[in-house]
Structure 1
Amino acid sequence: MSSQETTVRQEAGTVDENALRLDQDKAEQIVEALNSELANSYVLYHQLKKHHWVVEGAEFLSLHEFLEEAYEHVEEGADEIAERAQALGGVPVSGPANLEERATVEFEGEDVYDVRTMFENDLEMYGEIIESMRGSIELAENLGDPATGEMLREILVDLEEDGHHFEHYLEDDTLVLESALH
């Protein structure tokens, strides 16, 4: 850390008043939910990025490109979530340890698996995040914040679409011949 004198403008985990005129206790609940969604997004992002790096096989290029597109979608959504948490007076969770602690999903670990197992793990995480995000949308709307609900809905559409693509990749119909796999 720099030797310059620093001033903390806002402590992590706090929610200040916001210009959006959302009551502070409601904003605190929504920021808490947003920070969980943000943490989940970065766990998924890192898992997809890992899979992008290590994927191999006959369909390498298309899977490599698909994974890149998927983690870019997740990162774009994470950025929107973080900016909304800040707009509501909160501090977006950002450090690796804090992200891991705050997440409700679990990274598969450092090991490398076969493509099918990696995609099954990804699809499972997508499902968990989709369920969580639906709950966060409902919370925001019940607390009188339809804008956060709408923003999360837009992110949810991308998550559901990408999750559905993972589901397609896991189907048993393929053009790759079984003999070509051995």
Structure 2
Amino acid sequence: MSTEKQLRREAGTVEENALKIDQNKAEQIIDALNTDLAATYVLYHQLRKHHWNVEGAEFEELHDWFGDAAEDAEDNADDIAERVQALGGVPVSGLESLAEHAPVESEGDDVYDVRTSMQNDLELYQNVIESVREHVALAEDLGDYASSELLRDVLEDLEDDAHEAQHFLEDDTLVLEEATH
């Protein structure tokens, strides 16, 4: 890291934006977007962890699903961060900042069986969905229809992935377990 530093924009500040969104409204929307950005990164890292650690009879399908779901989260995080920047804000990005802004927590570093992992993912999805849903309404109420639309797209991805996670947790399976007597 360079010892010479030229600060261009301080984290937590909001500049005037070219989108003609009032400064006060922009600050509220940026705060909401940064909350969802942080939550999305928590989700991303947990999904990526499960992608790395999944085992068992459904390894290939679940490995692929966790990877695809993590990519969805990463893409959504990128879109949210770019919108924060367009509104004149600074997207949260440091690990400490992400942890401070996230309204959700990951399951931690321990590795769990795949069913527990998927249940933890579904719960995390549900919590992120609630946050994003609230922020769709906030952006709409503040007249930022583009942020509202962006968050609706993010919400649709989250709901689709949560629905798929729920399907993995169903009790109907072709994989036979050995009977214990």
* TM bracket (short chain): over 0.9
TM-score normalised according to structure 1 size: 0.97
Superposed CA deviations along residues 10-58 of structure 1, whole A, max 9, x for unmatched, are 1000111000000000000000000000000000000000000000000
User: What is the 5 A alignment of 1:23-62?
Assistant: 23-62=22-61
Q: Distance in 1 between matches of 2:61 and 2:18?
A: 45
Secondary structure in 2 aligned to 1:113?
Answer: coil
User: What is the 5 A alignment of 1:154-173?
Assistant: 154-173=153-172
Secondary structure in 1 aligned to 2:178?
Answer: helix
Q: Which amino acid aligns with 2:2?
A: S
Q: Which amino acid aligns with 2:56?
A: G
TM-score normalised according to structure 2 size: 0.97
* Alpha-carbon shift at residue 9 of structure 1 (Å): 1.3
Q: Distance in 2 between matches of 1:50 and 1:140?
A: 32
Q: Distance in 1 between matches of 2:102 and 2:110?
A: 20
Please report the RMSD computed on the Cα atoms of aligned residues, expressed in angstroms. 1.1
Q: Distance in 2 between matches of 1:126 and 1:94?
A: 20
Q: What corresponds to 2:79 in structure 1?
A: 80
* Alpha-carbon shift at residue 172 of structure 1 (Å): 0.3
Q: What corresponds to 1:125 in structure 2?
A: 124
Q: What corresponds to 1:89 in structure 2?
A: 88
Q: How many residues align?
A: 180
Q: Distance in 2 between matches of 1:97 and 1:89?
A: 21
* Alpha-carbon shift at residue 162 of structure 1 (Å): 0.5
Runs of 4+ in 1 over 6 A off after TM superposition: none
User: What is the 5 A alignment of 1:64-79?
Assistant: 64-79=63-78
Q: What corresponds to 2:2 in structure 1?
A: 2
Q: Distance in 2 between matches of 1:175 and 1:169?
A: 12
Q: What corresponds to 2:14 in structure 1?
A: 15
Q: Distance in 1 between matches of 2:76 and 2:87?
A: 17
Identical columns (%): 62
Superposed CA deviations along residues 109-159 of structure 1, whole A, max 9, x for unmatched, are 110100000000000000000010000000001001011000110111111
Sort the Cα spacing of 1:180 and 1:101 in 2 relative to 1 into closer, same or farther, 3 A.
farther
Sort the Cα spacing of 1:100 and 1:111 in 2 relative to 1 into closer, same or farther, 3 A.
same
Q: Distance in 2 between matches of 1:8 and 1:122?
A: 38
* Alpha-carbon shift at residue 179 of structure 1 (Å): 1.7
Q: Which amino acid aligns with 1:10?
A: R
Q: Which amino acid aligns with 1:125?
A: L
Gaps of 5+ in 2: none
Superposed CA deviations along residues 72-118 of structure 1, whole A, max 9, x for unmatched, are 00000000000000000000000011101110000101101000000
Q: Distance in 2 between matches of 1:78 and 1:119?
A: 21
Q: What corresponds to 1:147 in structure 2?
A: 146
Q: Distance in 2 between matches of 1:75 and 1:7?
A: 29
